């Protein structure tokens, strides 16, 4: 029998989590998963899910070891092992074959096709299954917030991203913004695009900036789709956004396009119903949405509470009050209401800028109890 110790289990799970993060952002829309194989408290191998369609974390760690090493070992994996044929065969099969004695799981898989099934199969095959502490389990869920939202709410995960001056402007009054942020920040912004399957942009910003909205600094098999919020304006189809080989969508009831597909918006209280929009694009297969601007588009997503994360690149520059607002919307605050409260989740320096990530406070993640 393997001696069990919760503190040690938590420790190895945190290592597996570190592995999981290495997959960012290449696994999307699949979750980030990491694993560690341990015997007699020694790490034998580590693995992670490297890219969408590639081997799962368990497979990555298991295939590095000999039959002898694997026998009676403990596998730590941040997400419940899959039990179905997807892009790869079920991991539970390989675990059973490897004669691994015990599997410690970070969190159950929120995908209804897999939920608790992996655990059941392992147990049936006399493999011990254990779980980590609540705190560590939360971390295992947090790294896959987009995946958990997709699976449990059937909605895409929405990231609002903008680079602003310290007075929250994205351009001077002439719409000039080259470059508010440093080069490394711009490269980082492309990494965020890489984790997205759709970039959302407003008509004004698209016409004024004429951006490519593509992933340039990283290799990618597929450029993210683009959706232009343009209920009224007619979008000229010679803009740079149409140069890339990918789908362009336009949210409009008014116009017809040859290079873009039209999504019909629902209008509610005179505004586009963004919740309806998100439901529609989820059904179309989109899982990770990046809202890049401009101010009015970002303002609408915030006002309608249709976002999960705000990724702010704050640059050490002051533009002045005649500049263009990064967030352009009033939220009808009451006299004693200071504003929409967020949670500061992470921050780091990127060159001369500071990157700050905000999520909603008290995010109600689907905490699927495993124990």
Q: Which residues bind a second copy (CB under 8 A)?
A: 165-169, 171-174, 176-180, 295, 299, 302, 310, 312, 314, 316-323, 325-331, 333, 335-344, 347, 349, 352-354, 356, 358
Instruction: Pick between residue 97 and residue 348 the one whose CB is nearest to a second copy.
Output: 348
**Category of 290 on φ-ψ map: left (φ > 0), alpha (ψ -120 to 50) or beta:** beta
Distance of alpha carbon 104 from alpha carbon 243, whole angstroms: 48
Instruction: Pick between residue 128 and residue 328 the one whose CB is nearest to a second copy.
Output: 328
Cβ neighbours of residue 244 closer than 8 Å, sequence gap 6 or more: 212, 213, 214, 223
Q: How far is the CB of 343 from a second copy (least distance, A)?
A: 6
Distance of alpha carbon 179 from alpha carbon 147, whole angstroms: 33
Q: How far is the CB of 341 from a second copy (least distance, A)?
A: 5
DSSP string, 126-151: T-EEEE--HHHHHHHHHTTHHHHHHH
Instruction: Pick between residue 336 and residue 364 the one whose CB is nearest to a second copy.
Output: 336
Strand 309-314 to strand 267-268: parallel, antiparallel, or no bridges (unpaired)? unpaired
Distance of alpha carbon 138 from alpha carbon 91, whole angstroms: 23
Sheet containing 198-202: which strands, arranged edge to edge? 261-263, 248-251, 225-229, 198-202, 288-293, 157-164, 309-314, 353-359, 343-350
- As given in the structure block, the two tokens for residue 261 are 């597909």
Q: For the CA atoms of the chain, what is the radius of gyration?
A: 23
Instruction: Pick between residue 247 and residue 353 the one whose CB is nearest to a second copy.
Output: 353
Q: In this structure, what are the phi and psi dihedrals at residue 35, rounded to the nearest 5 degrees? A: -150, 155
Three-class SS string for 76-95? EEEECCCCCCCCCCCHHHHH
Instruction: Pick between residue 109 and residue 308 the one whose CB is nearest to a second copy.
Output: 308
Q: How far is the CB of 224 from a second copy (least distance, A)?
A: 25
Catalytic pick among 19, 58, 80, 292: 58
Q: Is 58 a catalytic residue?
A: yes
Q: How far is the CB of 318 from a second copy (least distance, A)?
A: 4
Q: How far is the CB of 252 from a second copy (least distance, A)?
A: 25
Catalytic residue list: 58
């Amino acid at each position: 029998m393997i001696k069990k110790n919760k503190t040690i289990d938590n420790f190895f799970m945190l290592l597996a989590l570190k592995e999981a993060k290495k997959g960012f952002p290449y696994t999307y829309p699949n979750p980030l998963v990491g694993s560690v194989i341990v015997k007699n408290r020694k790490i034998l191998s580590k693995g992670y899910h490297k890219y969408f369609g590639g081997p799962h974390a368990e497979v990555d760690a298991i295939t590095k070891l000999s039959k002898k090493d694997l026998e009676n070992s403990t596998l730590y994996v941040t997400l419940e092992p899959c039990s179905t044929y997807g892009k790869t065969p079920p991991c539970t099969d390989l675990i059973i074959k490897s004669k691994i004695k015990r599997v410690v799981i970070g969190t159950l898989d929120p995908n209804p096709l897999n939920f608790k099934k992996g655990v059941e199969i392992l147990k049936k095959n006399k493999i011990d299954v254990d779980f980590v502490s609540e705190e560590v389990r939360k971390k295992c869920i947090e790294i896959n917030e987009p995946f958990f939202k997709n699976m449990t709410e059937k909605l895409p995960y929405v990231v609002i991203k903008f680079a602003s001056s310290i007075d929250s402007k994205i351009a001077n009054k002439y719409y000039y913004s080259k470059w508010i942020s440093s080069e490394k920040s711009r490269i980082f912004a492309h990494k965020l695009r890489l984790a997205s399957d759709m970039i959302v942009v407003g008509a004004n910003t698209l016409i004024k900036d004429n951006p490519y909205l593509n992933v340039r600094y990283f290799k990618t098999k597929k450029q993210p789709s683009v959706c232009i919020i343009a209920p009224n304006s007619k979008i000229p189809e010679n803009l740079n956004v149409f140069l890339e080989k990918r789908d362009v969508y336009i949210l409009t009831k008014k116009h017809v396009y040859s290079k873009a597909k039209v999504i019909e918006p629902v209008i509610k209280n005179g505004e586009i119903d963004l919740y309806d929009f998100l439901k529609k694009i989820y059904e179309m297969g989109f899982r990770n949405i990046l809202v890049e601007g401009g101010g009015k588009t970002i303002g609408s997503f915030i006002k309608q509470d249709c976002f999960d994360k705000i990724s702010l690149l704050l640059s050490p520059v002051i533009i002045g009050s005649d500049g263009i607002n990064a967030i352009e919307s009033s939220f009808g605050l009451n006299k004693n209401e200071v504003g929409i409260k967020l949670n500061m989740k992470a921050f780091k320096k990127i060159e001369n800028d500071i990157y700050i990530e905000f999520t909603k406070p008290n995010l109600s993640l689907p905490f699927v109890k495993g124990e």
